[in-house]
Structure formats: structure tokens, C-alpha cells
Homo-oligomer: A and B are copies of this chain.
Amino acid sequence: MKVIVNGLGIIGGSICAALKKAGHTVYGKNRNKQSIAYALEHNMIDDEARSYDGADAIILALPPSIVMHELDCGNFPSDVVVADICGVKEPLEKIVLSRQRDYRYVGLHPMAGKETTGITSASANLFRGANLIFTVNEQTDKAALNTMRRLGKDMGFLRFVECSARRHDEMIALTSQLAHVVSNAYVKSPFTEICMGFTGGSYQDMTRIAGMDETVWSELFFLNRENLIDEIERLRRELGRFSDILSNGDEEELQALIVEGKDFYTRFKHKN
């Protein structure tokens, strides 16, 4: 297939690298020409794309606001499959469905990433073994979905899940956005600056994504604010239960509280 990827950051670059390795013809588009040069040098793309012409599939690997603009006003060839990789989906779907479209849209959310950004962090192996979410609606074209599923396999994804944009945004508030909020809030302790030598794997895991890109993530958070606020407030209540029992309760109550979380986690693990 001929695939055009617009946006050569860590995700877009990794998509290019993986698809080219799998034998597809891959063209890259990027405002910053250094990323194009890097992608060419590292054999991630066949060439720069000057337009969307001739593409079988177009993947928009750009921040949500730019993707929304592109989905609304982009100059796509008729019938082409257009996918995005944004971390929120309902606001995008609303735009796509707001009027008749000539292109065939599929929402993608690769559940993989790194705490670093940019094409220099991209890798053909980034998605190996990871989950890929497809968002679909009553207008989703089956053939377009199959095309993206095939490309997803070629990118290295292991597991595929299909859901509505609304369900995606609810789930992602828990599985991705809340994690970024927690990590960023976690490090704001007076002890953070002096904790050298006092840290182990738990701290590293908890804080790894604290330094997220503020531009992309503030956009994502606002576009999913209701679901995210629900999850933040749910977590604050749960943390409060720990404080309350530590202040006024006993070890037996605390054990029961821990077991409650352990049970949630065990049920999750058994299904995963």
C-alpha cells in the first residue's frame, strides 16, 4: 500500500518506520523539514509527500487541534482511508460526522509511547505487542477498517479492540490521562528535590511520565474534561479513604481497603 503519514513525531515516525519495514511505500509530511531529513536518512520513509494524492491510506499523527482542522478542511482524495492517532475521539468524530465526507474515516489510538518525544525517539518496534484501539460508528466503512487493521498488524500491534468514540474517551480517561495527571501531581512534593538515593522502581514507575508535553496534553485533557474530572475526583475520594483510616481507623480496616484494590487489580489481570 501507499501510505502517507502527516506528522513525524515519535508516533508518526514509528508508524513510518514499521510500515516501511513491512514493505509498504511510505511518504511523510511534516512542517519541520529536519524531521523529513531525519526520516529519509534513517530509512523510515520513501520520500516526502507534497500532497495527499495517490494514497491508499493517510494517517494523521498530529496534535488534536490540527487533526480536527485537517479532518474538516483537509484536501483528501475521494474514498481514501483517513485515520488519526489522537488520544481523544469524540470531538474528532463529531467533526467527521458533521457533514457528508468524501473520505473514509477510522479512529486509531495506539496504546504505546515513551516519555520522550520527537522523531529521534521513533522506532519500528514501538508498537510491538501493544494494544491498538479502533473507534467506529454507524458510518464506518468496513473495508476501511480492514485496511487499518491490516496496517495495524504490520505496525506490530498484538491486540485490537473496537469501540465507540464515547467509550474510548471514558476508558482513556482512566488508562492514560489520569496516569499523566497523577504522575505530574505526584512529583510536586517538597521532598522530590532531595530524594536522591531514596528511590526505587515504584517511584520511577509513578513519575516516569511527569514531564509530558504540556501543549499536547493540555489539549487532550480539555477535550475530555468531563471524563477526566470524574476519574480525578474518584481517585481523590479513594485516596481520602486511606487518609481517613490512617487517621481514625485500625489495621484491620486498612487491610480491607488494600484488599479491595487488590481484588480490582486481580480481576483486571485475569482478563488481561
Chain A contact residues, CB within 8 Å of chain B: 111-113, 130-131, 133, 159-161, 168, 170-176, 178-189, 191-203, 205-212, 214-215, 217-219, 221-222, 225, 228-229, 231-236, 238-243, 246-247, 251, 254-255, 257-262, 264-269, 271-272
On whether A111 and B176 interact (CB within 8 A), knowing A235-B186, A254-B218, the answer reads: no
Query: A217 — which chain B residues lie within 8 A by C-beta?
Result: 258
Query: A231 — which chain B residues lie within 8 A by C-beta?
Result: 189
Verify A191–B205 contact, CB threshold 8 A.
Answer: no
**Complex CA distance for A203 and B175, rounded to whole angstroms:** 5
Query: A179 — which chain B residues lie within 8 A by C-beta?
Result: 186, 202-203, 205-206
Quick one: copies of this chain in the complex? Answer: 2
Classify the secondary structure of A's interface with B.
helix
Q: Which single member of B170, B192, B267 contacts A268 (CB below 8 Å)? A: B192
Verify B112–A201 contact, CB threshold 8 A.
Answer: yes
Verify B210–A229 contact, CB threshold 8 A.
Answer: no
Verify B174–A195 contact, CB threshold 8 A.
Answer: yes
Verify A191–B174 contact, CB threshold 8 A.
Answer: yes
Verify A176–B193 contact, CB threshold 8 A.
Answer: no
Instruction: Taking A131-B199, A171-B198, A228-B246 as given, write out 17 further A-B residue pairs in contact, using a Cβ cutoff of 8 Å, ordered by the A residue number.
Output: A161-B196, A171-B194, A172-B198, A174-B192, A182-B182, A182-B235, A185-B239, A193-B264, A193-B271, A205-B206, A206-B206, A210-B261, A210-B262, A211-B266, A221-B254, A222-B246, A233-B243
